[in-house]
Every structure is written in structure tokens, then in C-alpha cells.
Amino acid sequence: MRRALVVLILALVPCAALAQGYRGRDFWICFPQNAVLERADKTLSLSLYLCAENRASVTITNLSDSSVQHFSVESGASTERDVDTEIEIRSSERTERNSLHITSDQDISVYAVSHRPASTDSYMAIPTEFLGKEYVVAGYAWLKNGSESFSSQASIIAIDSNTLVTIHLAGPTYGGLPKGRTIMFALNRGETFQIQGSNDSGDLTGTTVSSTKPIAFFTGHSCAQVPSNVSFCDMLLEMEPPANDWGKSFILTKFEGKDYYVARIIADADSTIVSINGVKAATINRNEFYEVDTFYHDAIVTTSKPALVAQYCTSFNADAVKVGDPFMLIAIPNDRFVSEVTTSSVTHGVYRDYLNIVVPDTAVNSLLLDGARAGLGSYPPGVVLARKSHVPGAQSTVLTFQVASGRHFIQCAAPMAVYSYGFGIDNDNYDSYGHACGMRLDPRE
């Protein structure tokens, strides 16, 4: 009877909410630079993981060499596809065609992962219909490591020809452009443009990017230490939602096995008040950020005006128990939660994979994970509840599950937030990945 009630409640959730979570039939993606350029001990691999609820015929077009792949993703399955590493964007301030265009005859979910030994991160791709015209770079502090230098970076893909892009720099670039400079240029369909910070002070966080037509936008860092004085470094990468979809209330969740995490709150307007767990912490202006470098627990972040919140996993040496290196994810605003998510682990090697799920207290019992009533303590094979924590002041509960590798299907009677991440173990223990698993976005005109 109780299971029937859960199914009935799910059936009453609006279809638009159920269909979201970044599912779609058209995607534009790219792979920004991951740490060092190619060398024998840092071999790059790029992969896509595609999930479908109904059998889908998929086409991937590589704009860099015009190659085309056709294949099928079976119903209820996840399919991995390797990507030619020559498509990685290894330049700054140069127009190229290093993009992939993915189309499908059915809704699919697309996850992308960039992996080098000891430097990995991932993102969930945003469908073309939800791309926007205004973004901001969410990077991290510049890093000097011996003879190598790593910095914030952001990559753009034009999805239509004659797209005029304007960038206002919050920091100096690798190509020598100074902080405060505004640059403008045109891109055609499928063309890419990457900006990287300078090799001596290259944090581009707060740099604004606007365009006359919707663009795909990817933000992060080629290899960051988090906090900046703690080793070791790892790539940071997320596909960012447009500024139209930013929010004012967020629940940040602690990563399993890590002592603490870091967050940056970036303002969309002047005089934005930032509060942490109900206590005012700062007032920041447009494109400024406020950083908290020691969140030890789940936390509530609220802002008086819309903001973007980037959450960072810490470096290996930040913890008493050494595990993982940095990754970045974009926190999902509380009013942008979704009711259904398909996710897939995106790892090479030996990993522990986790899901952090934020659910309203009133809907915990309705949570389904791979068809099992996880909210009531029934878990599918390979799934273990690692943590369950009420968030005071948010009327929400955070559930952390250690999950088996592969595809997972999550449903809830009320909108929820889902984050996927993992840490390498044994010989892979300097590796990690993490990403948000979609949020409710507004289609563009």
C-alpha cells in the first residue's frame, strides 16, 4: 500500500519537473585543458557517458575533424564513448572548432569526464534549449608548481553563426590582456574560444561573458589546489547554468570522507548580502565573490540577490585521512530542484562513488533509488547509506549513499538536488570527480 502511495504521488508531479535534470536531445560540449599538456606519465583520456530511459539513436559530430558517430543507447542503460583527445582545447584567446555536437531522437542524459592520472573532473551537459547569453567565470586561485603554472579558465561554444561575444576580464590572461580589459569577437556555429589566466596571477573568477545569441559555457581551472596552500592539484570543471537561472538560497552538502569543503559565492548585482546558516557574513558587489574555506558540515547559504555558488572538494593533504584531490560543482538553488534524475559513475580505475541527495523532510520516505525505497531504508544491491543528516533551518535532509559503479535512477515525490562524486583508492587515491546532476532551467526564446 505504501509503495502504491509513493507511485501515485510521483504520478502527480508536473511532467516538466520530471523531464528536467538536464535531459534533452541536443547538446554542445567541449573539453577544456586538463593540467599539463600531453606527456608519457600524464596520458589524457576523454569520455562520454550517455543514459536513456527509452532506446535512443544518438549521433555525435566532432567539429574539429568533421567525423560522425552513430550508435544506440538502450532503454535503462548507460553507454560509454571514448573521445579523441585531440579535441581538448589547449589554447588561450584563440578561435578553434574543438566542439562536439550530440543529437538524439529520444531524451538522454550526457556526462563528460576529462581524466589524467591524478587529475580528473566531470560535468553533466546542459541541453541546447536551456543555454543562455550571460555567464561568469567560477575558477580558483593561480598555482605555481615547479616549472608549471596552472590557472582559472573558461571555454565557450557558439551554437549559431554570427554570435558576438563580450568578455570583461576580472584578472589578467595568459595572452597578456590586463585585468579590467573588455574584449569582443564573433564566433560561428561550433567554434570554440578559451580564456586562461596569466601564468603569474591567473584567477579569472568574476570575469563576465555575454553574447548576442545563446552559448555553451564551461568554467573551472586547469589544476587547482584547494585551499590554495594545500597540495595537491586537480582539474576543476563544470558546465555552468546561465545567470538567468541563478538563485538566492542553497544547501551545501559535505563530501563523504573529507574533513571539510570550500565554497565561493559570486554576486550578480551590487550590494548582495551573503548569509551563512542565517548569519550575515559579507556584502559583495556584482561579480565579486565571497569565499568560505572551512565548511565542516552541511550548510545553508542565502543571498539577498541572485548568486552563483561554486563548491570545491579539498586537496589530498587537507584531510586527516588522505583521499582525493579537488573537484568543483555548481550548487543547485533550492527553487531549482528536480524530481527525477538519471546519473552514471564516470570513472576509470578503482573508485568509491557517492551520491549526495537533498530532500525536503516531508518527502524523505518517497525517495526511490534504482526502484528501491531508499527513503525507507531499503537499498538496491551495491548501495549503502553512508550518512543521513537533518539540515537545521532548511526543513531538509541530506542522504549520502555509497553506490556501485554504473547507472542510477533517482526519483522523489518532491523536488530534490542530486550530486555525484567519487574518490580513487589504492593507486588512484589522488583522483576524484564531482558534478551536479541537473537542475530545473527555463527554456530560452
Residues 233-261, mean pLDDT to the nearest whole number: 97
Which tens digits make up the pLDDT trace of 336-356? 999 999 998 887 678 899 999
Residue 135 has pLDDT above 90, yes or no: yes
- Per-residue pLDDT, averaged over 266-276, amounts to 97
Q: What is the mean pLDDT of residues 67-89?
A: 96
- Look-up of cell digits 557517458: 49
Q: Which amino acid is at 14?
A: P
Task: Give the CA angle between residues 187, 188, 189 to the nearest 5°.
Answer: 130
- On whether the CB atoms of residues 329 and 435 are closer than 8 A, the answer is yes
Residue 441 lies in a domain: no
Q: What is the mean pLDDT of residues 105-124?
A: 94
Average pLDDT of 77-102? Answer: 96
Q: How far apart are the first and last CA of the chain?
A: 44
**Predicted local confidence at residue 178, as pLDDT:** 95
Question: Which grid coordinates belong to 125?
Answer: 551537459
Provide the pLDDT for residue 72.
98
User: Taking residues 12-38, what's their average pLDDT?
Assistant: 74
| CB-based contact 348:423 (threshold 8 Å) | no
194-205: per-residue pLDDT in tens?
Answer: 999 998 877 999
Please indicate, yes or no, if residue 149 is contained in any of the structural domains.
Answer: yes
**pLDDT at position 20, please?**
59
Q: Is the pLDDT of residue 428 over 80?
A: no
Q: CA 411 to CA 369: how far, in whole Å?
A: 7
- 279: cell is 548569519
Q: What percent of the chain has pLDDT over 70?
A: 93
**What are the residues facing 312 on neighbouring strands?**
262, 328
What would the mean pLDDT of 247-251 be, rounded to a whole number? 98
pLDDT in tens, 28-65: 999 999 997 555 567 899 999 999 999 999 999 999 99
Q: What are the tens digits of pLDDT across the range 198-238?
A: 988 779 999 999 999 999 999 999 999 999 999 999 999 99
Give SS3 for 381: coil
The pLDDT score that the predictor gives to residue 392 is: 86
Three cell numbers written together for 88: 581538448
User: Would 141 be classed as within a structural domain?
Assistant: yes
Q: Does 442 map to a domain?
A: no
Confidence of residue 1 (pLDDT cuts 50, 70, 90): very low
Q: Which pLDDT score, from 0 to 100, does residue 11 have?
A: 42
Q: Per-residue pLDDT averaged across 250-276, rounded?
A: 97
Whole-number pLDDT of residue 19: 43
What integer pLDDT is reported at residue 145 of this predicted model? 77
Using CA atoms, how far apart are residues 228 and 326, in angstroms rounded to an integer? 11
Residue 155: its pLDDT value, please? Answer: 98
Q: Which three cell numbers stand for residue 152?
A: 582559472
The domain of 147 spans: 2-436
pLDDT of residue 324: 85
CB 231 within 8 A of CB 315: yes
Is residue 71 within 8 A of residue 82, CB to CB? The reply is: no
Cell of 60: 555525435
State the pLDDT at residue 93. 97
Residue 67 lies in a domain: yes
Q: What is the mean pLDDT of the chain?
A: 92
Span 368-415, pLDDT tens digits: 999 999 999 999 999 999 999 999 899 999 999 999 988 999 999 999
Cβ partners under 8 Å of residue 421, min gap 6: 255, 313, 327, 329, 353, 354, 356, 432, 433, 434, 435
Extract the C-alpha cell encoding 110.
Answer: 550526457
**Binning pLDDT at 50, 70 and 90, where does residue 16 land?**
very low
Report the candidate in 47, 208, 5, 16 with the shortest Cα–Cα distance to residue 130.
16
CA 336 to chain centre: 15
Helices in 154-264 by DSSP H: which ranges?
none
Confirm whether 445 is domain-assigned: no
Question: Which is higher by pLDDT, 43 or 98?
Answer: 98
- Asked if omega into 232 is within 30° of 0 (cis), the reply is yes
Distances in Å between the Cα of 371 and the Cα atoms of 29, 50, 98 are: 31, 20, 39
Residue 75 lies in a domain: yes
**pTM for this entry:** 0.94
SS3 289: strand
**Residue 37 maps to a domain:** yes
Asked if the model's pLDDT at residue 445 lies above 90, the reply is no
Q: Retrieve residue 413's grid coordinates.
A: 515525490
State how many domains the chain has: 1
